[in-house]
């Protein structure tokens, strides 16, 4: 049976202050809110984020495969849409690692000892990777928007601007 650990980011002074204020306003025990906060973090950051990221990764992979097989779509548009799918997938994978593993590491003892020991060394690299993937995604959407603008508003000049080497 696994157990929940006390959250790392809440110190004893905050706990006693909040427990005093909550017990003066209601007749609850000394700190029942603490377990509720831990459960909330666990449910949202582990179960909800895992489900959303899993569906997003699956959807992006299906999109990349379908767009790779579709020959009716123009080459640059298809390439940009596949690149957006890959960047989205990279962002979702890094967010899944960052949110889920960080919460499990802080709140529970579910991780094996090797992962628990390696996480402090891996964590500083996950956030920059997520930020890089998000930035790539934003700029790919900007380029895709410019590509569509040229194709729709300047159709006579579109062939000149839309070349893939």
Per the structure, the complete domain to which residue 97 belongs is given by 31-161
Judge whether 96 lies within some domain: yes
Judge whether 83 lies within some domain: yes
Q: Please answer whether residues 150 and 74 qualify as being in contact, where contact means their C-beta atoms are separated by less than 8 angstroms.
A: no
* Residue 7, pLDDT score: 47
Judge whether 1 lies within some domain: no
**Tokens (6 digits) for 92:** 């979702």
**Model confidence pLDDT, tens digit, residues 71-119:** 877 778 889 999 999 999 999 999 998 899 889 888 888 889 888 899 8
Q: DSSP labels for 8-73? A: TT--HHHHHHHHHHHHHHS---SSHHHHHHHHHHHIIIIIIHHHHHHHHHHHHHHHHHHHHH--SS
Judge whether 105 lies within some domain: yes
Judge whether 20 lies within some domain: no
* Residue 162, pLDDT score: 61
* Residue 17, pLDDT score: 42
Is pLDDT above 60 for 165? no
Cα separation, 96 vs 112, whole angstroms:
18
**Model confidence pLDDT, tens digit, residues 109-140:** 888 988 889 988 998 999 999 999 999 999 99
**Comparison of pLDDT for 162 and 108, the residue scoring more:** 108
**Model confidence pLDDT, tens digit, residues 22-36:** 444 444 455 666 678
| Total number of domains in the chain | 1
**How far from each other are the two terminal CA atoms of the chain, in whole angstroms?**
58
* Residue 150, pLDDT score: 87
* Residue 21, pLDDT score: 42
Beta bridge partners of 11: none
Judge whether 145 lies within some domain: yes
B/e letters for 145-159, b = 16+ CB within 10 Å, e = fewer, are: eebeebbeeeeeebe
Cα separation, 23 vs 15, whole angstroms:
12
Judge whether 18 lies within some domain: no
User: CA 126, 128, 129, 132: dihedral to nearest 10 degrees?
Assistant: 160
Judge whether 63 lies within some domain: yes
* Residue 5, pLDDT score: 55
State how far the alpha carbon of 55 is from the alpha carbons of 121, 127, 131, 152, in Å: 28, 21, 20, 32
* Residue 163, pLDDT score: 61
């Amino acid at each position: 049976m696994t157990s929940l650990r006390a959250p790392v980011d809440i110190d004893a002074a905050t706990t006693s202050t909040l427990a005093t204020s909550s017990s003066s306003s209601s007749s609850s025990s000394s700190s029942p809110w603490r377990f509720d906060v831990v459960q909330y973090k666990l449910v949202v950051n582990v179960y909800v984020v895992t489900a959303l990221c899993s569906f997003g990764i699956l959807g992006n992979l299906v999109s990349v495969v379908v767009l790779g097989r579709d020959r009716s779509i123009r080459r640059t548009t298809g390439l940009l849409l596949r690149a957006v799918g890959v960047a989205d997938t990279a962002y979702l994978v890094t967010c899944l690692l960052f949110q889920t593993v960080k919460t499990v590491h802080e709140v529970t003892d579910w991780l094996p000892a090797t992962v628990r020991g390696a996480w402090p060394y891996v964590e500083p690299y996950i956030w920059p990777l997520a930020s890089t993937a998000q930035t790539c995604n934003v700029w790919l959407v900007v380029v895709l928007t410019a590509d569509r603008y040229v194709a729709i508003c300047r159709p006579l000049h579109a062939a000149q601007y839309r070349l893939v080497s």
